[in-house]
Amino acid sequence: MARRGTRDAPLVEPVPDAPAATARLGTERALVVADYHAGIEVGLRYERGVELDSAAPRRRDRLIELVSRTDADRVVVVGDLGHQVSGAGDTEREEVTALLDALSVPVTLVVGNHDPGLADAVDDLQTEPAGGVRFGPVGFVHGHTWPDPDVLAADVVCVGHEHPAVKLADEVGRARAERAWLRGPLVREPFADAGVDDDWNAPELVVVPAFNDRSSGTWVNVDGQGFLAPFLPEALPSAQAYLTDGTRLGDYPSV
């Protein structure tokens, strides 16, 4: 899955068997995750009437383990650290605060559509605007808005928001959904039409799977399952799909 780096050291590299990647940001090594959705259980209760015990400790321990495993200097959350759209609730704030207290490295949040008010509610949370941010050769934007032009000047752009998944069927026709990565070259025209391509650098796009395994996903290989970002799928007509274990599935529309 390597591109836009040396063959041995790609700029963005998925962590095996995890919905997370590492990114080389100049002198820093970042652990990249998207769609953590702290407090999702409260949301599921009110939105769908689903009662689930909180998995907050498990989510926190899994992220801490990944920081240790990758020797990361920072965590970059590509949007939706929280879950509540209308502002940070008590459960969400408590989960995020406990996570920040437990981590040994700083956290940078690129604001997503589920993050309003989270920075004001939680101390020591560094945030970047919804239009995204570029750290050297790597850009980050959640994906619910058009990226800022400076993000498109990166070599690689990471987005979340989509919760990409693929529908797979076995030999007897039983289907299952698996979280997936998408990775491919961006097409310029949609960004030019939107007037946000001033610093265009023909970047590669990496669509990061949701960290939270209780979040529903978009089956990218099923007809009628529309993308959520305003620039997709038009800006990504072709991309390779990978499972989190690294299995390459081929071009996502034909999986």
Domain with 203 in it: 20-243
3-state secondary structure of 98: helix
Residue 59 forms part of a structural domain: yes
C-alpha R_g of the chain:
17
Residue 251 forms part of a structural domain: no
The predicted structure's pLDDT at residue 87: 67
- Number of domains comprising the chain: 1
Higher pLDDT, 174 or 189: 189
Answer whether residue 210 shows pLDDT above 60. Answer: yes
The predicted structure's pLDDT at residue 8: 52
CA dihedral of residues 89, 86, 233, 217 (deg, nearest 10): 40
The predicted structure's pLDDT at residue 175: 78
Residue 9 forms part of a structural domain: no
Taking the C-alpha atoms of residue 12 and residue 15, their distance in angstroms, rounded to an integer, is: 10
Residue 174 forms part of a structural domain: yes
The predicted structure's pLDDT at residue 255: 81
Residue 10 forms part of a structural domain: no
pLDDT grade for 116, boundaries at 50, 70 and 90: confident
Q: Degrees (nearest 5) of the Cα angle 10, 12, 14?
A: 110
Q: What is the mean pLDDT of residues 104-133?
A: 91
Taking the C-alpha atoms of residue 47 and residue 202, their distance in angstroms, rounded to an integer, is: 40
Higher pLDDT, 241 or 175: 241
The predicted structure's pLDDT at residue 43: 67
Residue 12 forms part of a structural domain: no
pLDDT > 70: what percent of the chain?
93
- Considering only CA atoms, which of 78, 96, 99 is closest in space to residue 87? 96
Q: What is the mean pLDDT of residues 63-83?
A: 96
141-168 pLDDT per residue, tens: 999 999 999 999 999 999 999 999 998 8
pLDDT > 90: what percent of the chain?
69
Residue 4 forms part of a structural domain: no
Residue 151 forms part of a structural domain: yes
Answer whether residue 6 shows pLDDT above 50. Answer: no
Question: What is the pTM assigned to this prediction?
Answer: 0.92
- Supply the DSSP symbol for 135: E
The predicted structure's pLDDT at residue 4: 52
The predicted structure's pLDDT at residue 42: 81
Lowest mean pLDDT among 39-43, 124-128, 229-233: 39-43
The predicted structure's pLDDT at residue 168: 84
The predicted structure's pLDDT at residue 7: 47
Answer whether residue 189 shows pLDDT above 80. Answer: yes
The predicted structure's pLDDT at residue 44: 74
| Percentage helix, strand, coil for the chain under 3-state DSSP, each rounded to 5 | 20, 30, 50
Domain CATH for 35: 3.60.21
